[in-house]
Amino acid sequence: MSIQKLENHVIIRNEGFIEQAETLKPQLHETIVEPKAIVEIKSDKDVIHGWKSEFVAPASTLAETEYGKGDSVILDFGNHQVGYLSIKIRPEGSPPDAPLKVKLTIGEMPVEIAEPFENYTGWLSSSWLQEETIIVDVLPTEITLPRRYSFRYVKLEVIDTSPKYRIVFEKVECRAVTSANINDIQTISRQDKELQKMDEISIKTLADCMQDVFEDGPKRDRRLWLGDLRLQALANYETFKNNDLVKRCLYLFAGVPDDKGKVAANVFVAPKLIADDTYLFDYSLFFASTLHDYYFASSDLKTLQELWPTAYKQVELALERLDKNHILKDSADWWSFIDWQEGLNKQTPSQAILIYTMKQGIRLAQELNAPQQNLLEDRLEKIETAAKTFLWDEQQQFFISGAERQVSWASQIWMVLAGIFSREENQKLINHLLTDKPEVGIATPYMYHHLVEALLVSEEKEQAIAEMKTYWGGMIQDGADTFWELYDPNNKDFSPYGSHLINSYCHAWSCTPTYLIRKYDL
Ligand code: RAM
């Protein structure tokens, strides 16, 4: 379990930055979506989580049926939706002499409809599981649920009417919302239909996560995380090109640093802008990285000038963790995310991320003619040399991490991306990784993205495509309408949270195939 909770969390609010973010608040586009079908969720041991949906009737037949106590119906909206549900209900029979009680269960995946939420035992709050009980005094009625939901399936269960009346669901619809403008996308037609499909699903994933900010997942955690933002922004530059939304998110992070200047790993935007008391070594550094990518996508020099001090501060604070050998200190109590891989030592991948972001920092310093450039270059050289001296195991031909000298996928992948070796050496390393397959592997699409990008920068295009087809292609075969937060093809029930019910099935950090396909012209 990984929960960070800080006492005496001091935030220094920069009202100018917060106002700037406010002016960039996006407009939400709305679309009314109706369910496509009435379905049943059936048990099937051969499908993911053991549950599949089966067509029963077109959704247009919904209003032909009367429902009484204990009856239920499952609606399939045909694709993933993020929005507000409304239901029109009328009574049939005698005048309603008791309130109507209806329970809604709302799910992105069939498993969420099939398995009772009461049985959930994960360590994240069960309040994320999407359900609602409504009690209606006066019928007929039209109810709009106040919460925004993320779903494909909705189960309506009549808990009670009275012996004297039944009800009809005359209409159910969803007001779907996104700040992405689908018309802004240049459609591409690929020869390879699998890649084409992956591109489309990535774009849908990204669009459904684009709300008031770039959310990590519209079901959970519904907030702005830096690590997710960095990847969403990259996918966005290749597709929606909503640069202002990236800019808004950068200003939000820069608006609430702590008293040392460190930016939080995630922020809440309601009831007002609040920095979460969670700090991750890699995520803070990715502020600089996201600013780098934003600047080169937008040429917005003014924003770069304003946010450079915040970006540089993240590097400066990260450098404080180096020991006398220029290697990041490892300890049991530090927080760097990297991946949800069980038992992963974070030292070497974090060192690589430091190198990766310092290089981007140097590029920014050059653009600005900033005095920090020399210092960054000087430190970088030492840190890179130290990585080769102390973290590279000549005998194993792998980078090792921590006192246990762990060989992980994450260390090799991030060192390739950090570019401390030549292209040929990187190519050798990444191929060695794929053939040797060290035990400490990859747990998330987030880390998989980095594997694929490491292959692409090493000019291993065919292998990159093959990995994407196994991984994101595997999700598609397992029924993904949008790409998932977690996916382990060898253990499809995997969840770092103790239950796959709480996993998010439309998740920002999984939206990058469109970036990889378009940027590297796959
Ligand atoms: C989970 C979410 C989020 C991610 C953090 C580190 O809570 O999946 O997207 O950035 O972990």
Give the HSE-up count for residue 500: Cα atoms under 13 Å, Cβ half-sphere: 21
Q: Quote the tokens at residue 255.
A: 């608006």
Cα–Cα–Cα angle for 474, 479, 484, rounded to 5 degrees: 70
Q: Whose CA is nearest to atom 1 of ligand 1?
A: 221
Domains within the chain, CATH numbers bracketed: 30-178 (2.60.120.260), 281-519 (1.50.10.10)
Quick one: pLDDT at residue 7?
84
CA of 94 to the centre of ligand 1 (A): 51
Q: Which residue has the tokens 């998740």?
A: 507
- Give the DSSP H or E segment for 178: strand 165-178
Q: What is the DSSP string of 322-341?
A: B-TTS-BPP-TT----S---
Q: Yes or no: say if 447 and 339 are a contact pair by the CB < 8 Å rule.
A: yes
Q: Is 339 in the pocket of ligand 1 (CB under 6 A)?
A: no
Ligand 1 atom closest to Cα of residue 217: 9
Q: What is the pLDDT along the chain (522 residues), one digit of tens a residue?
A: 467 888 888 999 999 999 999 999 999 999 999 999 999 999 999 999 999 999 999 999 999 999 999 999 999 999 999 999 999 999 999 999 999 999 999 999 999 999 999 999 999 999 999 999 999 999 999 999 999 999 999 999 999 999 999 999 999 999 999 999 988 888 878 889 999 999 999 999 999 999 999 999 999 999 999 999 999 999 999 999 999 999 999 999 999 999 999 999 999 999 999 999 999 999 999 999 999 999 999 999 999 999 999 999 999 999 999 999 999 999 988 899 999 999 999 999 999 999 999 999 999 999 999 999 999 999 999 999 999 999 999 999 999 999 999 999 999 999 999 999 999 999 999 999 999 999 999 999 999 999 999 999 999 999 999 999 999 999 999 999 999 999 999 999 999 999 999 999 999 999 999 999 999 999
How far CA 6 is from CA of 214, 268, 287, 321, in Å, comes to 25, 16, 21, 19
Quick one: pLDDT at residue 5?
87
Q: What are phi and psi of 137, to 5 degrees?
A: -85, -35
The three state secondary structure string of 226-261 is HHHHHHHHHHHHHCCCCHHHHHHHHHHHHHCCECCC
Q: Is 76 in the pocket of ligand 1 (CB under 6 A)?
A: no
Q: Is 509 in the pocket of ligand 1 (CB under 6 A)?
A: yes
Q: Is 227 in the pocket of ligand 1 (CB under 6 A)?
A: yes
Q: Is the pTM value of this prediction over 0.95?
A: yes
Cα–Cα–Cα angle for 435, 440, 441, rounded to 5 degrees: 65
Q: Using CA atoms of 138, 144, 150, 153 in order, give the dihedral in degrees to the nearest 10.
A: 50
Strand partners, 226: none
Quick one: pLDDT at residue 2?
64
Quick one: pLDDT at residue 184?
82
Provide Rg for the chain, Cα atoms: 25
CA of 262 to the centre of ligand 1 (A): 19
CA of 214 to the centre of ligand 1 (A): 13
CA of 225 to the centre of ligand 1 (A): 7
Strand ranges inside 353-480, DSSP E: 392-393, 398-399
In 443-452, which positions are buried (b, 16+ CB within 10 angstroms) versus exposed (e)? Answer: bbbbbbbbbb
Q: Whose CA is nearest to atom 7 of ligand 1?
A: 221
Cα–Cα distance for residue pair 264/4, rounded to 1 Å: 12
Cα–Cα distance for residue pair 309/307, rounded to 1 Å: 6
CA 59 to chain centre: 31
CA of 151 to the centre of ligand 1 (A): 19
Quick one: pLDDT at residue 229?
98
Q: Yes or no: say if 413 and 445 are a contact pair by the CB < 8 Å rule.
A: no
CA of 216 to the centre of ligand 1 (A): 7
Q: Is 215 in the pocket of ligand 1 (CB under 6 A)?
A: no
- Give the DSSP H or E segment for 93: strand 72-93
Interhelix angle 409-418/445-457, rounded to 10 degrees, is: 50
- Give the DSSP H or E segment for 154: strand 149-160
Burial of 88 (0-12, 13-18, 19+ CB in 10 A): middle
Quick one: pLDDT at residue 521?
94
Quick one: pLDDT at residue 187?
80
